[in-house]
Amino acid sequence: MALEQRDGSKNKKLSKYTLPNETVKTVVAGAGRLFAVTDRRVLNVKKGSTSAGREIEEVESTLFNDVSKVNVVAKGDTGTFDMTKLIAGILAILVGLFMFVVANDAYGTEQGLLFLIAISFLLLGAYLLYNAKTTSPGDIVITFEYVGEDGFIADSYILPADQTDTAHEVVRAVGEPNAD
């Protein structure tokens, strides 16, 4: 999910949720989502639809005056292997090598056809092995902890890995009221 930096002062959707004297520090938006950091809180606005097709807008807000701790964890890209592609690629290469051995014992047009089949299997196997690994992009998890009536409560927000400036702004905004 790609989010891009926006000017918060000109964002009409955000103005519905902020107070007139609230200062917007940063806004990132994209793919039906708006994430904003103000001098008082974090706003996370998600737009979607119900199973019946009705439009919904979910708004989550965490006030900084209640926050006792903020954790920012940047997770890097993760790679996983598709075992089906991996096994199929290995089998295709083995069949291709076997076809080369058989083609060496054949004569005439059969030999050329078997070499062509062997090369096809080797290329297919190489393609499958190359595409067996998939990489999932990393993300940034921001967790706010505060004491509520039920003990410690935590609110978490997830941002794309390229939004480190936004995460830094969150940490600065949480610490700003306590700065002397």
What would the pLDDT profile of 124-179 be if each residue is shown by its tens digit?
A: 999 999 999 888 777 888 888 888 777 788 888 888 888 888 888 888 888 776 55
Residue 128, class by beta-carbon neighbours within 10 Å (0-12 exposed, 13-18 middle, 19+ buried)? buried
Q: Which residues of 31-56 are buried (b: 16+ CB within 10 A; e: fewer)?
A: eebbbbbbebbbbbbeeeeeeeeeee
**pLDDT tens digit sequence for 64-109:** 887 888 888 888 777 888 999 999 999 999 999 999 888 888 887 7
Whether the Cβ atoms of residue 94 and residue 118 lie closer than 8 Å to each other: no
Comparing C-alpha atoms, which of 46, 58, 45, 51 is closest to residue 15?
A: 45
The residue length of the chain stands at: 180
Q: What is the pLDDT of residue 2?
A: 57
Domain ranges, ordered by start, for the chain? 4-66+162-178, 78-135
Q: Where are the alpha helices (DSSP H) in the chain?
A: 12-15, 83-105, 109-130, 164-175
